[in-house]
Amino acid sequence: MAKQAIDFLYLMPRLSHTPCTFGVNNSKAKNNMVYSTDCRLSTVGCRLIQQFYLGFFLLLSATLYSQKPVQTISPSARISLMTVAPGEFVYSTFGHSAIRVFDPAQGVDRCYNYGTFQFDQPNFLLKFCRGKLLYFLDIESYRGFEYGNLADRRTMQEQYLQLDSTQRQRLFALLQENAQEENRYYQYDFFYDNCATRIRDIVQNALLNEVTYDSTQLPMGTTMRQLLRPYLVRQPWMGFGIDLVLGTPADRRASPQDFMFLPDGLHNMFGTARLPDGRALVYDERLTPPRPFPLPEWKPGIFDRPLLCTSLLVLIGLLCMLHPRAERMFDTVFWFVIGLAGLIMALLWFATDHSATKTNYNLMWALPTHLLVFWRLKNRKAWMRNYFAITSILAGLCLIFWKFWPQELPAAAMPLAGLVALKGLWGLRRKG
C-alpha cells in the first residue's frame, strides 16, 4: 500500500499538467472561458490530492515503523551511503548525507538522517544564532527520502557498503542505539559534527576503526575554508558573507578525516576506503535518477561580482568627498553598515558556540564601535579625532599585512578596508 501511494505521487506532477475536463460536457467545453477555468480548478485539485497522499503516506510510514521495531537485520540486508547533491536553498548548499538500510526479508527500507532539527524548539532563532540548536537523528522511509530529493531536483548517489553480516549488524545496532530518544540529539558544529561526520564516525566505529582511506589524490594543504569555495561559485554574495564571518579556525589545513565534513568528501573517501582484509568498502554505486539533473545555466552579471561592487562603492565614496552634503549622507550610511557588520562578527565570536567564527581578523577594519559614532560625525571634539586615528591605523595595518595574517581575508573586503583607512585619516581634519 505504501509503495502504491508513492507511485501515485510520481504520476501526479504529470496529471497536474494535463488538461482536465472533469464534469464538463461537450457544449460547455466549447466555451473557452469555462474550459480554462475548469482546467485550473482541476490542476489545483490534483495538487491538493498530491499533498494529501504525501501527508497520508508519511503518517502511514511513521505508524508502520512505530508498530514494527526491528533489532536484528537478516543476512540479505544491505546498507548504503546516500549522498545528495546540493540544492537551491541555503541549508542545502553543501549537499547532504544519510545511511540507507534495506532489508527486504523484514520489509525494512529506511534512511537514517542526522541533519534534522525542529522549528518548534523553544527560542529556536536565538539557539540557531548562538550555535546551541540541537540537531537529531531522524528515521524516515526511503521512498519519502527519495521523493523529497527528486522533487527538489537533487541527484542522489548510493554507495553499497561491502560489509559482512557481523559488520552490518554492528552498524545497524549502533544506528538503532543512536536513534533512542536519549541519544538522538547532538549540538551541531559546521566543520566537526554534522550529518556527514556523524556517518563517518559511526561507520568507523562499526568497523572497529580498522578502515583505511587512500588520501594520495587529495589536495593536501587545502584549508577548511577553501573546501567550501566550489559550492559558492553560483552564490558569490553568500560566499562573501561566509568569508567575512568565518575566523581563523576555518583556515586550518584539512586532514584526510576533515575532508569528510562535506557530503561529497565523504562520498569520495568512502570510494577509496579499504577494509582490514583488503576488500573495498564500496562494491557498487548507482545514481538516482540515472541521468543527473543538469545545473541551470548561470552567467554572473555586474552585481554578482562582490569585488567589483565594493570597488564601485569606494569610487562613489571618493566622489562624495567632493561635496560636503553628499559626504555626510554617504558617511552616515557607510559607518553604520560597517559597524553593523562588525557587531555581527563580534557576536558570532564572543556570544555564540560556533567554533568556526572565533578569532576573526576582519574586526580590525569593521569595528562594531562605529555604531556609536556614525550619527555623531559632526562632532569635532578631540576624542572623535582620536577615534578616527585608531580606526585608520587598524584598517591600515590590516591592509599592509593582508596576506600575512593567519586568516584568509576576502578580496572583496580589501576596497572597504582601504576606504575605512582613508575615511579615518580624512576624519582627522576635524578640529575641536
pLDDT in tens, 88-108: 888 899 999 999 999 999 999
Residue 119, pLDDT score: 77
Whether 210 contacts 275, CB under 8 Å = yes
236-245 vs 324-350: helix axis angle to the nearest 10? 60
pLDDT band, very low/low/confident/very high, at 4 (cuts 50, 70, 90): very low
pLDDT digits (tens, 9 = 90+) for 264-287: 999 999 999 999 999 999 999 999
One DSSP character per residue, 25-42 reads -HHHHTSHHHHHHHHHHH
Residue 70, pLDDT score: 73
pLDDT band, very low/low/confident/very high, at 57 (cuts 50, 70, 90): low
Query: Strand, coil or helix: what is 303?
Result: helix
Distance separating alpha carbons of residues 141 and 102, to the nearest angstrom: 10
* Buried residues in 246-272 as b, exposed as e (16+ CB within 10 A): bbbbbbeebeebbbbbbbbbbbbbbbb
Tell whether the model's pLDDT for residue 235 goes beyond 50.
yes
Whether 422 contacts 396, CB under 8 Å = no
Of 312, 314, 292, 289, which is closest to residue 302 (Cα–Cα)? 312
Tell whether the model's pLDDT for residue 85 goes beyond 80.
yes
| Other residues' Cβ atoms within 10 Å of the Cβ of residue 342 | 22
Distance separating alpha carbons of residues 281 and 278, to the nearest angstrom: 9
Tell whether the model's pLDDT for residue 432 goes beyond 70.
no
Grid coordinates of 215? 588520501
Rounded alpha-carbon distances, angstroms, from residue 384 to 329, 337, 342, 370, 378:
18, 19, 19, 11, 10
